[in-house]
Amino acid sequence: MPSMTPDVMISAQGIHKAFGGNEVLRGVSLDLLRGEVVAVIGPSGSGKSTFLRCLNHLETIDSGSVVVEGDVLAQNDASGKAHYVPEAQIRKIGHKMGMVFQSFNLFPHLTVLENLIEAPMLVKKMKRADIVPKAEALLKKVGLSEKRDAYPNRLSGGQKQRVAIARALAMDPDIMLFDEPTSALDPELTGEVLRTMRELANEHMTMLVVTHEMGFAREVANRVVFMDGGYIVEENAAEAFFANPQHERTRAFLQNML
Ligand SMILES: Nc1ncnc2c1ncn2[C@@H]1O[C@H](COP(=O)(O)OP(=O)(O)O)[C@@H](O)[C@H]1O
Ligand SMILES: [Mg+2]
């Protein structure tokens, strides 16, 4: 079904978010298109995680709008404050997005397979017989079939993160959000996780990736967004972004990353 206008998977407009008096997002707007991989980079504390968490309602926004595949999650009311849709709709929208965290967040008391099938069974009410083959296929895809019955504490960090990715995919999301998925890993383990993410990108998964991996951003992302101080300072097609950064802050940041 080819289409002239690309589908907007997430449209975030004018997002403001403060924690107490600390304004962490100061009007952040970003559209994520179907099949696009967008890398979000920027210094620590610039609001990258908060922005990601606002998209899937792990945080609430103060003002602005978030629309996911045409469904409004939140938008401003007449007074300019963000108003959220009812809980059932929030949940439905949440299921469109999978999220992978820096710290894996696997359930320690469940085996790898049980980690994958838990949410589809509890949240989506899928039958065990239907989800198990799918979970096994996902484990094969991330190269961890042999870890099916292992507990997370028997896995390396790279293996844990690949299980976390498979677990997110088991919910059949349309969009994957990654928050520094390799930052907690020993350097020799980042490659296997980045490879899995690259394969997802090759399959045209829509991905928003907060990362410090400049090689990944350059090679895999279509677009790169640089955040600093709660703003998007600069965004561009990946190649142009790295070849010709426009802002002094961007140049200084990239210099530091080399
Ligand atoms: N739950 C929270 N409560 C209070 N302050 C927070 C919370 N989460 C993030 N912050 C603050 O928001 C700012 C941006 O944090 P964050 O979004 O994690 O930045 P980044 O991911 O770019 O490092 C930081 O000053 C951080 O301390
Ligand atoms: Mg962060």
220-241 pLDDT tens trace? 999 999 999 999 999 999 999 9
The length of the chain is 258
206 in Cβ contact with 35 (< 8 Å): yes
d(CA 25, CA 46): 8
Q: Ligand 1 centre and the CA of 24: distance in Å?
A: 7
Residue 190 identity (one-letter amino acid): T
Instruction: Give which of 155, 217, 141, 213 is closest to 182, Cα–Cα.
Output: 213
Strands lying side by side in the sheet with 231-237:
97-100, 175-179, 206-210, 37-41, 223-228, 231-237
Per-residue pLDDT tens for 80-139? 999 999 999 999 999 999 999 999 999 999 999 999 999 999 999 999 999 999 999 999
Token couple for 256: 């530091």
The residue among 5 and 173 whose pLDDT is bigger is 173
The residues that bridge with 231 in the sheet, in sequence order, are 228
Give the ligand with the smallest distance to the CA of 230.
1
Percent of the chain with pLDDT over 90: 97
Per-residue pLDDT tens for 71-96? 999 999 999 999 999 999 999 999 99
Q: How far is CA 3 from CA 6, 34, 139, 237, in A?
A: 7, 11, 33, 21
Q: Please tell me the predicted confidence (pLDDT) of residue 257.
A: 87
Cβ–ligand 1 contact at 46 (below 6 Å): yes
SS3 98: strand
Token couple for 57: 């309602």
Which residue's CA is the closest to the ligand 1 atom numbered 2? 19
Q: Ligand 1 centre and the CA of 29: distance in Å?
A: 18
Q: Please tell me the predicted confidence (pLDDT) of residue 258.
A: 75
**Ligand 1 pocket mutation, candidates 46, 50, 210, 226, criterion most atoms within 8 A of CB:** 50
In the block, which residue shows the tokens 């707007």? 29
Mean pLDDT of the chain: 96
- Residue 179 above 90 pLDDT? yes
